[in-house]
Amino acid sequence: MDYKDYLPIFLDESKENLVRLNKLLLELESKPDNQELLNEIFRIAHTIKGMSATMGFNNMATLTHNMENILDDLRKGKLKADRDIINLLFFSFDALEKGLELISTSGNDDSPLLKEAIDRFSNKDKIIESRTVSKEGSSSKVTLDQYNILVIKEAIQKGFNVFEIHVKLRENTVLKSVRAYMVFKVLEEKGEIVYSEPSVTDLENEKFDLDFTVVFITKETVEAIREPILQIAEIESVDITPISIGEKIEVKKEESVSKVQEAIVEKEGTRSLSKMGQTIRIDVERLDELMNLVGELVIQRTRLAQIKEFDSTTDELARITNELQNLVMKVRMIPIEQVFNRFPRMVRDLSQESGKKVRLEIYGADTELDKTVVDAMGDPLMHLIRNAIDHGIEPPEERIRLGKQEEGLIRLSAYHEGNNIYIEVEDDGAGINIDKVKRRAIEKGLITEEIGNRMSDEDVYNLLFIPGFSTSEKVTDISGRGVGMDVVKRRVEELNGTIKIESKLGRGTKVTIRLPLTLAIIQSLLVKTSEEIFAIPLSNIEEIVKLEESDIKTVKNVEVLYSRGRVIPLYRLSNVLGLPSNKCNFAVIVRTAGKQIGIAVDDLIGEEEIVIKSIDKMVNSNRNFVGATILGNGKVALILDVNTLASI
């Protein structure tokens, strides 16, 4: 049987089963004698076992068979679901997740974590209580296959530089995977990464210690590469070693020069496998609607071609096109519960680790938004919840002393409002000490005492988004309030969203993230500057002001706008983009990164719904744009990144 044809179905159904299994295991921990839970968990293990065996993934099949045995003993009362048994089942769940990730990228389940879980079942009477994470992909030497070696040799012959870059993160780095992602992003702007150790998958899932190595092809010099990497927060060191054509590079034993073509084919096959899990299940009724609308569209197009009943036909065509557009947007929408479902287990583990009692309440998990947004929000939300547990929720004895419930509360919620979705992470913990934040900012030289005295609460909270800023006296294994918050902010702004912090000392903290429903289509304001048209996302705009020269002042060589008692920094769009200067008649007031700025433009064209198209990074070298759109007249308009403008 050629299982590859069925692999996408296997991956999708196994992921759904694991999501369900994780939820049931959490329930079983609080209801260890519940027969219904045990029966349902048994059925899921049995289903995964059957599918794995059919597909030839023997390690997954063996592990789920062992889970069946222990679950059967629990159902029959031969065993009790105590802490050791629950931890063993959770460890097995982690191993199954790891095995599934490996299958999606390599097509096999040869995972050390799966094998370790199988070994634990062979001696279940001596289950250790502490749950350890298996370290995979760790290697002190880069081992390249013959294909990569040929690529490197060809690059050197064409005059490129090839470097082995070893990056080490600082101790107690939070969100290691995000730091690795930022390093990769810097490098990809300067050349091509041909190999990484550990693998990209392990880096994304934080299955590495504090260092990683990449082989990199570029025209840049060593210093041009090292400096931007060192500017990333929490980077300890960067060692860059040139690779020359005469060097002996270790080759994987199973590879040979005669198998180069085979290696290329295998590499392409691996890429396709990694994409198989990136699917969305679509309701058949929605597909039927989509097909009907496409049929209507074809009919109207035919009528239009005959130039008969022109006006009514174009109106009908517009109606069908709008419905088709809305339906396609719905197809891209998935419930945010796919992200939210990760966190009950995480809160459970962190509560045990920290010795705190924490309850997680989830609201609005069925709220739908664009799949791209859902996929990108996992790490930021994980960090916010970690922060809430580590520096928000007090220890049980402290909460009792303060007259609070012994058990702390974290509330994770999502809801729609207009064309945006709001995600909130709220805790009932200690809150943020504004005076402490100011003192730390003054100590670090970020602000003066005079500026600190004039700062609003919101301005003080925004200090937490400065890379590396933290009020923690010591760094814990869980988090540090402020450490990594720059990463959260960066990820939210990459999605054209905003983030806001509210807090009351002694009562708790709430972080609110506002995001667009979809990244594909947005409402925008079209503006004109120097005869060029640009789009500004409507979600960032607060108001539009008619400019009078008397309202514009210069303070320390920076233009500001006086409007209704406010002083707002003003940037002439033509100056920012290096275009010829004209008279600016309007200021578009936008709010981003917690502050207001004014963008001065020549003229306003009006609101329009636009489809975002990505643009090449060479075109967007100054990072002032989030993309481009094609207007109704066929011309291209660039979409401004107001977050970048706000950081000028």
Q: Which residues are known catalytic residues?
A: 46, 68, 387
Give the C-alpha separation, 202 to 268, whole Å: 19
Give the C-alpha separation, 543 to 520, whole Å: 24
Query: To which residue do tokens 């197809």 refer?
Result: 331
Note whether 12 and 281 are within 8 A (CB).
yes
Give the C-alpha separation, 504 to 429, whole Å: 9
Residues 76-96, buried b or exposed e (16+ Cβ, 10 A)?
A: eeeeebeebbbbbbbbbbbbb
611 phi and psi, to 5 degrees? Answer: -100, 125
Following DSSP, what letter does each residue of 179-243 receive, concatenated? HHHHHHHHHHTTEEEEEEES-HHHHHTT-S-SEEEEEEEESS-HHHHHHHHHTSTTEEEEEEEE-
Tokens of 20: 């369900």
Residues 430-454, buried b or exposed e (16+ Cβ, 10 A)?
A: bbbbbeebbebbeeeeebeeeebee
Following DSSP, what letter does each residue of 120-181 receive, concatenated? HHHTGGG--SS--PPP-S--SS--B-HHHHHHHHHHHHTT-EEEEEEEEEPTT-SSHHHHHH
Q: Where are the beta strands (DSSP E) in 243-319?
A: none
Residue type, 87: N
Give the C-alpha separation, 232 to 220, whole Å: 19
356 phi and psi, to 5 degrees? Answer: -105, 155
Note whether 32 and 89 are within 8 A (CB).
no
Alpha-carbon 401 to chain mean position:
38
Following DSSP, what letter does each residue of 509-575 receive, concatenated? EEEEEEEES-SSEEEEEEEEETTEEEEEEGGGEEEEEE--GGGEEEETTEEEEEETTEEEEEEEHHH
Give the C-alpha separation, 185 to 233, whole Å: 14
